[in-house]
Structure 1
Amino acid sequence: MSEGTHEAALYFWAIGDMHYRAMPAWHEVHEQRLQLMFVDLRALWQEEGEPAFCAAPGDLVETCAPANYELARTCLTRELGDIPFYPGVGNHEFHGPDGEDPATMLETFHHFWQQPPRYSWQVGGITCIMLDYPDPHMLQDPAYVYVSRETLAFLDETLMASRGKPAAIFFHAPLRNTVLDRDPHVGRDYNSMQNFFSPENSQAVRDILARHDRTCLFLSGHTHTGWEAPGLVKSEQLGQNTVTFINLMSPWYTGNQGAVRIDKELQTVTYVPDEPDVVVSFAFQIRGEEVLIRAREHHSRRWLKEWRVSIR
């Protein structure tokens, strides 16, 4: 067990966009990538002890087809065993390129995960809040994303009800001006300065975080950000709080020059790696007035970096 793990008020793991898809050619490549992560995690958890839970804030599936959910649930149940798993809604949970009915998309999410789109839970004296990504079909322009009034109210009310407790918030997209591009002249990464990749009303979220004591973590994915991008882990002073924003990257692919290429017949998937080609997820230990954040690279089975941030 690593130093301090047994003293942690809360030890949990968070994983970025996984994009399960029940297409044989896709799954063949995808499973190879994610197995690097899960094999390493199981070995690591035998050494350090199991986390209290794992969370993934959205884009667990590539499209909202029930077959993709079934595959994701089957694989994650097998890999995580008895570790509680908390999923979130991302833009791909609303992605229905094969004619899926938009009216049933959130019903499918609830059916497979047995969770509403937004919810909260308490563990180890910590409040955890999973916020929902907005349905693009309900936006005036899907390229301009807004956190809904209902979701803002839920965040405000949940933080008010758990006043005095440290809070970790999960939302699919980063807030504006957090994680940035590794090379904006080339455009290596989707990032929080772009429309669609961060909410237009990010300031409204910040205003809520500033009103509530001990809000300490804001975890997001969405951008598939590459390693060492500026602002990958970034702390801000909001009111009396030091809030640390973490972009969880993606164990599937990173960078917007990478990703996958699929032939027209949907029979061949070609994987184009980013540089560096990493498979990363994040561990969190909250103890006392400090949070230890660690980035784990699963291909090499080593820790890439750690950050220690305060809870104020």
Structure 2
Amino acid sequence: MFHDLQSIWREEGYPAFCVSPGDLIENGAPANYALAKREILSNLDPVPFYPGIGNHEYFPTEQGGAWHTAEEYSAAWGRPLCYAWTVGDVACIMLEQPQEQWTVDGMPLILLSPEALAFLDTTLIEHANRTAIIFAHCPLYNTVLDRDPERNLDDDSLAPNFFVSNSEEVRTILARHHKAALYITGHTHSGWGSPRLVFTESLGAHAITHLNVMSPWYTGFTGPKYNQEHQELEFLRDTPDVQATFSIQIYSHKIRIRARDHQAQSWLAEWEV
């Protein structure tokens, strides 16, 4: 991936930044943060990198161990859970991934906190004249979908624990800000070809496009599996076996999205919104 990215950048020019909305590590062990920081920052240099927090950053180092904390993420990356930055006429907003909450019937919920919702609203107000890109680990309800619902092939934005439970509150905020243009998420392990991997909906008087950056390693209930000693996770490749990242180009009148398969070293698809 890194080799192919550098080849593209030498040909096309360096991007303004790279970003990942969380799950940069398998669990929150300090050694995992150290490894991720070393490999990512050295291989992306000189491009700035902006990390987010995912649910895996909370995972315990060992089964049955203590869960890791948001404070550990912030200490490792030097970032709060919610933060923003600007590049020219574009405002970028990173939102939190809260720890799961459990209802009385045992179902998990992912709820953006009132503080995160307020941060989103006030930051969009502050940058009302800029095109806004929002990054969050978990997608909004009814965006990216399953390739095969009958087999439950993929985790998707209709499944509990794979969508933001207060999605309508988020959509209400986005509807008030006509320059909110792109909402980029991960979390679902959606496979290549999942419906609504790129999905545009109308909110208020404007459109917003959702982009889900799928996992290249496994999807849904096909993996990962523990080995016989139950010591390590064995990641299973998806079919088709695509290792993709996404290129985003922002223009005054459109956004161009391209998907790159780094194993094949070729472009997979392109969208203009």
After TM superposition, the score normalised by the length of structure 2 is 0.94
**Residue 180 of structure 1 pairs with residue 145 of structure 2:** yes
Q: Give the superposition deviation at 1:125.
A: 1.2
Distance in 1 of aligned mates of 2:221 and 2:98: 26
Query: Superposition RMSD on alpha carbons, in Å?
Result: 1.7
**Structure 2 stretches of 5 or more lacking a match?**
none
**Residue 84 of structure 1 pairs with residue 48 of structure 2:** yes
Question: Could you say which residue in structure 1 is the equivalent of 2:181?
Answer: 216
Q: Which of 160, 165, 171 is matched with 2:125 structurally?
A: 160
Is the deviation greater in 269-278 or in 143-152?
269-278
Question: Could you say which residue in structure 2 is the equivalent of 1:41?
Answer: 5
Question: Could you say which residue in structure 2 is the equivalent of 1:6?
Answer: none
Aligned ranges for residues 1-312 of structure 1 at < 5 Å? 37-98=1-62, 101-102=66-67, 105-136=69-100, 143-251=108-216, 253-265=217-229, 270-309=234-273
More helix by share: 1
Distance in 2 of aligned mates of 1:218 and 1:269: 31
SS at match of 1:43: helix
Among all aligned residue pairs of Structure 1 and Structure 2, give the percentage whose two residues are the same amino acid: 44
Q: Which digits, 9 at most, give the CA deviation of each residue in 1:170-203, with x for residues without a partner?
A: 0001100000000100111100001100011101
SS at match of 2:86: strand
Q: Which digits, 9 at most, give the CA deviation of each residue in 1:8-28, with x for residues without a partner?
A: xxxxxxxxxxxxxxxxxxxxx
Higher RCO (C-alpha under 8 Å, 6+ residues apart): 1
Q: Give the superposition deviation at 1:242.
A: 1.0
Q: Give the superposition deviation at 1:301.
A: 0.8
Q: Give the superposition deviation at 1:145.
A: 1.3
The answer on whether the counterparts of 2:134 and 2:184 sit within 8 Å (CA) in structure 1 is yes
Q: How many pairs were matched up?
A: 270
The answer on whether the counterparts of 2:143 and 2:196 sit within 8 Å (CA) in structure 1 is yes
Q: Which digits, 9 at most, give the CA deviation of each residue in 1:275-299, with x for residues without a partner?
A: 1111011000001110000011111
Distance in 2 of aligned mates of 1:300 and 1:263: 29
**Structure 1 stretches of 5 or more lacking a match?**
1-36
After TM superposition, the score normalised by the length of structure 1 is 0.82
Q: Give the superposition deviation at 1:225.
A: 0.4
Moved >6 Å (runs of 4+): none
Q: Give the superposition deviation at 1:108.
A: 1.6
Distance in 1 of aligned mates of 2:51 and 2:99: 16
SS at match of 2:183: strand
